[in-house]
Structure 1
């Protein structure tokens, strides 16, 4: 590791969704300190070109490197789909995206090879999950569907009740047939809707949370490189930065993280 084991893990996303990945990291690696950057001034990334997303991602990574991170987690499916090679080439620390861990977890879970993927239009359009699955096992039958309304539902707290259930039934009807036995939640917002999604697809379809799979991948990588923070280090520190006013991030983010965010600093990532 270029940095010491006491150094923090860096995490970035275009907004609040990546906090589900941070939550999984905190649960899986409770002794690790973290630095989270939400690029809230430029959200969403899914509607932007690959060139622009890559430029934003490199700037985000530069900011986090200045804070001494030992590993970077790209907690954004769009950035993972298009910017990961550029980040891996440019950074002196390991980089972990959310797509490959999610795809590997799906391959480990599927019994019959029928894997569904749900995500934002940008992620589904990129075909990144489909390529990751089919390159690892050509026998996999990948079926993908964009579910754009899930993001505002999650951010507004509409995660239970009739409204999200009706939306989920419309989006997910095709996954209740066609031999799909595993469904990848290919957007970091979607774990908040896991209960509704599970109700619609039924118990015969296993749900793969890419946030949890990513946390497992980070834990394995740090362990391999002797980069885990020691349990004796004391209370870990968690810092939050955003590129727009922080109040909305702190309010919505608390639901995603499952704990209050007491402070977030606004920063200017000028190009």
Structure 2
């Protein structure tokens, strides 16, 4: 196999929050980012649809030369990752890898909570999958997990309405509902890569005693550890410090909105399939 860039996939823009942290942790590699903006949101779609969309995008990244793809999307990680790893990848080269964002978070979340009560803020699809509940139980059986689906948060972020009073309303509404189930929750996991854009509002309505965990840094450190432990995979990741961005929607729209997530301007390419 030829060396190639590390692929990072998301249903839209949210994965850029993970991409940013990965590049910060591992700046020497080449990267390709693909946002399936034409078909966002994934959070309300069926397992079958999310799997099909995700696998199509992963294959596109493979075709672009990537040997490793990070699903920087919680819904895709919850609904598609296992099928891709167990059913699709064995039919390809054994060195092709697809990793998600749920396990790196579940492996450490128990270290943050003092009360043993953790809240998961996620899309309806991720909540319905029960992925966080099951994964956290593997590593921290005594931790109690409470989930809250936040269906309006992604549209608010995608449409750059985070300063709209509606954003305050829905963030407070969902947090109130979560804490109503257990007032001792002291740790919140932003289980959607769009949600860090709302982190200041989330912290304000959650209160100062509640820790709010954003996944980007956790995923980046987990990837660095993975590459260190799997030298055969690391050797297939090219090092040229290049970054290429693709979207399945309008490039002009993607470039404009992506600055909110990356904090800098970029030029994307459109990918149609």
Common topology (TM > 0.5)? yes
DSSP 3-state at the match of 1:41: helix
After superposition, the CA RMSD in angstroms is 2.1
* Residues 8-57 of structure 1, C-alpha deviations (whole Å, 9 max, x = no match): 11011111111111111111111121101111222222222211211222
* Residues 185-209 of structure 1, C-alpha deviations (whole Å, 9 max, x = no match): 0111100111111111122211111
* Residues 60-114 of structure 1, C-alpha deviations (whole Å, 9 max, x = no match): 1111112222321001111100111122233342222111112223122112210
DSSP 3-state at the match of 1:214: helix
User: Quick one: distance in 1 between partners of 2:160 and 2:196?
Assistant: 12
* Residues 91-149 of structure 1, C-alpha deviations (whole Å, 9 max, x = no match): 34222211111222312211221000001111112111111112322211111111122
- TM normalised by structure 2 equals 0.88
Deviation at 1:173, TM superposition (A): 1.8
Give ranges in structure 2 of 5+ residues lacking alignment. Answer: none
Counterpart mapping for 1:123-138 below 5 A: 123-138=126-141
Give ranges in structure 1 of 5+ residues lacking alignment. Answer: none
Report the CA distance shift for 1:162/1:76 in structure 2 as closer, same or farther (over 3 A): same
1:172/1:200 contact within 8 Å kept: yes
1:250/1:261 contact within 8 Å kept: yes
For 2:230, which of 225, 235, 248 is the aligned residue?
225
User: Quick one: distance in 2 between partners of 1:82 and 1:63?
Assistant: 19
What is aligned with 2:189?
Answer: 184
What is aligned with 1:216?
Answer: 221
DSSP 3-state at the match of 1:165: helix
1:103/1:184 contact within 8 Å kept: no
User: Quick one: distance in 2 between partners of 1:160 and 1:24?
Assistant: 24
What is aligned with 2:142?
Answer: 139
DSSP 3-state at the match of 2:157: helix
* Residues 223-246 of structure 1, C-alpha deviations (whole Å, 9 max, x = no match): 2123558xxx55x11111112222
Deviation at 1:222, TM superposition (A): 1.0
User: Quick one: distance in 1 between partners of 2:7 and 2:15?
Assistant: 11
Deviation at 1:161, TM superposition (A): 7.2
User: Quick one: distance in 1 between partners of 2:128 and 2:227?
Assistant: 32
- TM normalised by structure 1 equals 0.89
What is aligned with 1:106?
Answer: 109
For 1:35, which of 17, 22, 32 is the aligned residue?
32
Are 1:49 and 2:46 an aligned pair?
Answer: yes
What is aligned with 1:13?
Answer: 10
Are 1:247 and 2:252 an aligned pair?
Answer: yes
User: Quick one: distance in 2 between partners of 1:201 and 1:221?
Assistant: 33
